[in-house]
Structure 1
Amino acid sequence: MNGSDLFLLKNGNHDQPTITKVPRNFSGLDKLESSLVQARAAIREGQSGDQINDPDYMPYGPIYWNSTLFHRSYLEMEKRFKVYVYEEGEPPLFHDGPCKSIYAMEGNFIYYMETAKFRTRDPERAHIFFLPMSSTMMVRFIVNRKSRDHWGPLKRTLKDYIDLVASKYHYWNRSLGGDHFIVACHDWGPELSKAVPNLFTNSIRALCNANTSEGFKPYKDVSIPEILLHDGTMRGATGGPSPRQRGVLAFFAGGVHGPIRPILLEHWENKDPDVQVHKYLPKGVSYIDMLRQSKYCISPSGYEVASPRMVEALYTGCVPVLIKDHYVAPFSDILNWKSFAVIIQVEDIPNLKKILMGISTSQYLRMQRRGKQVKRHFEVNFPPKRYDVFHMILHSVWLRRLNARIHDSN
């Protein structure tokens, strides 16, 4: 993703906007599309225009592909973007979700989307439609662990919900789901979305498990961070000492599952005091304290590509080390992850220490400083604050909606 193509999102090497044809009789759509055309023009003009003073934050520096374009796009979102939240569906499967655990972003987003200033009660004014389903709650309350058919009840529930919405409103059918979105952080979220082919193919799926080998499309879908909130807040999870006080080169501790972690443990568990890799932390050792004592914090994929470790590293001033295949990092259409994180291939795990030792002190300090700068985009606030994780998720949805050209069929 090149920052100069901020709102022309790319699939591979080709710009690929989502184009959906709709019947001519929906005249209100023309006005909405016109406002998006104006937004795209304003963002383009912003590349060479005067910098706009912002009382909260001025994006700058190499953590962004293009800070000026991002800023203009963000301001246009605040100025124009309207989201309609379907009221159909009952808690806990809809309009509800976890606000603790590693799935916390799902529940947090659903809750705040329903109270955000971006919400409109008039669907005719909406640029996009939010389906407030919780994949986590569906798995929790519908799946019968004793049954071999996990997927059947889950997928029927989602399909029945989409059918209800489509029968009551014309918006789903006019775009075949192209101007609708969901947010799902559960591991099963991507598979669950296949229950409705148009949801999987056309709608914007904001997913923690942004795995391109499982159908995640970067030009259409949104990668969101998995954030572990033990008590529903960031309390106790942020802050750390200066780089000079960090005596551990690299740190990882976590369960052994998936194809990558066994390789990491094979090469580095109990092999080198500089590279602290553990299946289980020694008794009395604090996980969060180890993050704060380390220069680099390793985030390998497990069974799924998503992991809260990347955000935990940013929260504590540790430089993330990503070891993942087929993964699209959160907000990577805006953020240049290579400027504040180390990304290595699985085959380079045996050379992990050599790679990290090969990073100069000045470069490490730059990455660490940039990580502290980018942290604001991953913070969970109550209520949300401008540029925080809630707004970054919504901005990523805004970008995809800007890129979706819904045209008349005649």
Structure 2
Amino acid sequence: MSPNTHLSLFFLSLFLSISLPVLSSPYISPLTFIPNYQKMLKSFKIFSYTPPQPLVFSTPAESLFFSSLLNSSFLTPDPDRAHLFFVPFSSATPTRSLSRLVNELRTDFPYWNRTLGADHFYVSCDGLGFNSDRNLVELKKNSVQISCFPTQRSSFIPHKDITLPPLADPHHAPVKNESKNYLGYVKYGAVKESSLVNELSDDQDFLVERQPSDVLTYEWRLSVSKFCLFEYGDGDVSGISDAVSFGCVPVVITDRPIQDMPLMDVLRWQEIAVFVGWKNKSGGGSDGAKQLRHVLGRTYGDEKRYEEVRGSCVTAGQHLVWNEEPQPFDAFHMTMYQLWLRRHTIRYARTEVA
């Protein structure tokens, strides 16, 4: 299917989604998203500094983002045309070497000092912690960090930093019109072994997978389940992208607010997922399954409301897909779109030396 066809189908699905009440749209700004996306494609330019050595990343998502960026039309050899500047370095770069790299940017190029690095960005899956070194302080506090989801709280600054959508294994197309036979699906590793999981195992409305399954079985389980359970912080949340794509509404069990969800500048996650506050996640109490069922029934007991949310999941799912060759509106382009939204930075006036 050609990119133009993909674009036409997406315009159609977007029109249908914003024709519904605003609450059913998965987008934060459904009326301006498409025009802004088109502006980004036409004008957004990034200058990449030359890496000091071949780059090695710790995750496939980082590598795929980097290779997609290098082969994209966003890259420009002219730094004067650039809106943002990419600082490339390997995942295992020592702190001292990273400080030296930033210092070289400061002394060898005029761009860092104009904003103290605020119009620069870098990729680091684990994120950077705070440090007393001036170079690292400016890199951490001013530059946009692109990390992997989830990121440690101490390594992520909300509204500035970005997380990459999880890179899922390639799957077949979601099963169409599959009846939802199960209320919830708990994937092996997504929620830690606990009294809650044990209770759900005894509940015939919940499908608990204790051992990893083959791809086709996994896809079928996603397709026939209304909700997919994930534990934020301790569990494996990489399957959220799969759940969304297959119309299995994610239920995120958490004991604190989440501020690093992927594409938070684009998607209204409260219309795509259910966030369940759980102070005692490891235990869940003796009636954890009953409490969970109550929350899901109270929030999405109405079938029409559930179908709206499931539809938002499927629409949003196309933005969480990584492709070896980037396609319109996929995970790479949505990450670039979030960078484009951050292109306006305060440019400090350069002091002329008398």
TM-score, normalized by length of structure 1? Answer: 0.70
The match for 1:249 among 183, 190, 193 is 183
Q: 1:105 to 1:320 in 2, by over 3 A?
A: same
2:328 counterpart of 1:408: no
2:321 counterpart of 1:379: yes
Could you list the per-position Cα deviations for residues 67-118 of structure 1 after superposition, in whole angstroms to 9, with x for gaps in the alignment? 122222212212221100111322243xxx36xxxx3221111001111101
Report how far residue 193 of structure 1 moved.
8.6
Corresponding residue of 2:50: 87
2:332 counterpart of 1:390: yes
Q: 1:284 to 1:65 in 2, by over 3 A?
A: closer
Partners of 1:218 and 1:182 lie apart in 2 by: 16
Alignment of 1:310-321 (within 5 A): 310-321=240-251
Cα contact 1:128–1:181 (8 A) shared by 2: yes
- Structure 2 counterpart of 1:354, one-letter code: H
Corresponding residue of 2:79: 123
Cα contact 2:241–2:320 (8 A) shared by 1: yes
2:231 counterpart of 1:300: yes
Q: Which moved more, 1:282-291 or 1:63-72?
A: 282-291
Q: 1:353 to 1:194 in 2, by over 3 A?
A: farther
Corresponding residue of 1:170: 110
Alignment of 1:141-156 (within 5 A): 154-156=94-96
Could you list the per-position Cα deviations for residues 20-76 of structure 1 after superposition, in whole angstroms to 9, with x for gaps in the alignment? xxxxxxxxxxxxxxxxxxxxxxxxxxxxxxxxxx74633442111221222222122
Q: Report the secondary structure of 1:88's partner residue.
A: coil
Identical counterparts, % of pairs: 26
Partners of 2:216 and 2:274 lie apart in 1 by: 25
Corresponding residue of 2:253: 323
Report how far residue 168 of structure 1 moved.
2.6
Could you list the per-position Cα deviations for residues 180-216 of structure 1 after superposition, in whole angstroms to 9, with x for gaps in the alignment? 101233xx33438987111110000122245583252
Q: Report the secondary structure of 2:64's partner residue.
A: helix
Question: Size of the alignment, in residue pairs?
Answer: 321
Partners of 1:313 and 1:171 lie apart in 2 by: 42
Report how far residue 178 of structure 1 moved.
0.7
Corresponding residue of 1:57: 10
Partners of 1:264 and 1:401 lie apart in 2 by: 47
Alignment of 1:207-356 (within 5 A): 207-209=147-149, 211=151, 213-229=153-169, 234=170, 236=171, 238-244=173-179, 246-255=180-189, 261=192, 265=196, 268-280=199-211, 286-303=217-234, 307-324=237-254, 325-328=256-259, 329-347=261-279, 350=288, 351-356=291-296
Output the aligned Cα RMSD: 3.0
Structure 1: any 5+ residue segments left out of the alignment? 1-53, 139-152
- Structure 2 counterpart of 1:222, one-letter code: I
Cα contact 2:47–2:76 (8 A) shared by 1: yes
Could you list the per-position Cα deviations for residues 154-192 of structure 1 after superposition, in whole angstroms to 9, with x for gaps in the alignment? 32232233233333322123321111101233xx33438
